[in-house]
Amino acid sequence: MSKTNSTINITNEEYNNFLKKVGEGYAIRNGSMHPFIINNTAYKLTFLLPGMSAGEEETINFVSNENNILKYKVGNNCEFSIQELLEPGIKEAIILNDVIQEKYNTNVINFNTLSYKEKIAYCNVKKLKITYKYGDFIMTTQNHGNESLFSLNFPDLKKISQTYFERGEIHFTNNKAIAATGDRSYIYAVDKKGNLYIYPQYPNDTTTEEAHHSYILKGKIEGILYGFGRPTASSGIIIINDDGKIKYLDNNSGHYLTDFFQTLIVAKKFKELGILANNCLIKNHIDSSQIYTLQDLDNINEAQILGQYKSIDEIEI
C-alpha cells in the first residue's frame, strides 16, 4: 500500500456491517458518515458511542499487512480482516482532502494558488470568515468548522428546506406546497445561485435545540466537506405569509455574521422576482434602526455595493 494522506467514506450499510463485526452496542450517530482516515499505512475510524457528544469520540486503529489487508486491532487481541469493507462501494476521496490533510496542517501555504473550492475548504477547516463578491452576490463563509455530528444536522436537511419560485409564490421543492412559515421562527440561507432554503429555527416543539444556517448548505454527504457549511449570499430569519411572499427578512446569523449589504442585495433580487410582500420589512440585526421597506429597495445601487468588496481571488490571507 502506498503511503498517502486521504479519506475514504463508507456507506451507512457498510458502516453498520462493520460495527456488527466489532461488537454490539455501537451505532451511527444520527445516520451521519464517519470516514476511515488514511495516514501513511495507519487507518483510524472515529465514531461516537450512544449518548456521547461531539468531542468525546472513540477511535479504532487499523494496520495493513504485506498483502494490504486491513486488520482491526484493540490492544493485543480482537483482530480480524475487514478487507471486504474496502471493495466495491467505497468512494475515493476528492483532491480537496489532500489540501485539508496536508496543506492545511502546515504553515507553508499560498492562499492565492488555491482553486475556488480549495479556498472555501481552507476557510472551513481553519474556521475563517471571509466576505467576497461572487457574480451578482456577496458571499461569506462560516467560522464554526465541521458540525456533522450535531443531532439536527441530518443529511436531507438541504433537500427538505429547498424552495422554488413560481408566479410570485415561494413553494417547497419536495412537496410543492406554499412555504408559509406561520407563527414559527424560520431560518433561511441563500446559495451562490440565488436559491432560497428555509427551515424552522426550533424544529422540535418540545425542545429548545436550535438549527443553524450552516446545517442547510453543508457539503454533500459523499464528499470530504460534508458537515462544513458552504458560503451563503445571505442568511438570517425569514417570515413568509400565507400567499407565499416574504414579509420579513434580516441578517441574524451567528455562524455567518451576514453583512447587511448581502441581505439588501438578495432582497432586491427577490423583489425583482415578485416574491416580496407589499408590507415586507428588511431589518439589520446588528443595527435595528436600519429597516428597509419594499420602496426603499429601489434606491439600492447594487453595482456600487458590489464595488466595495473584493473577489475571492483578490483576498490575501
**If you average pLDDT over residues 284-289, what whole number do you get?**
94
* Cβ-based burial of 109 (10 A; exposed 0-12, middle 13-18, buried ≥19): middle
Among candidates 88, 90, 87, 39, which has minimal Cα distance to 63? 39
Higher pLDDT, 159 or 56: 159
* Calpha distance 46→13 (Å, rounded): 17
* Calpha distance 231→96 (Å, rounded): 16
Helix (H, G, I), strand (E, B), or coil: what is residue 272? helix
Which of these ranges, 45-54, 65-74, 148-157, has the smallest mean pLDDT? 65-74
**If you average pLDDT over residues 199-214, what whole number do you get?**
82
DSSP state, 230?
P
Neighbours of 197 (CB within 10 A): 26
pTM of the full predicted structure? 0.68
The pLDDT of residue 284: 97
* Calpha distance 216→160 (Å, rounded): 9
The pLDDT of residue 53: 59
CB 64 within 8 Å of CB 165: no
pLDDT at 271 over 50: yes
**If you average pLDDT over residues 175-180, what whole number do you get?**
94
CB 252 within 8 Å of CB 237: yes
The pLDDT of residue 23: 40
pLDDT confidence bin for 20, thresholds 50/70/90: low
The pLDDT of residue 194: 96
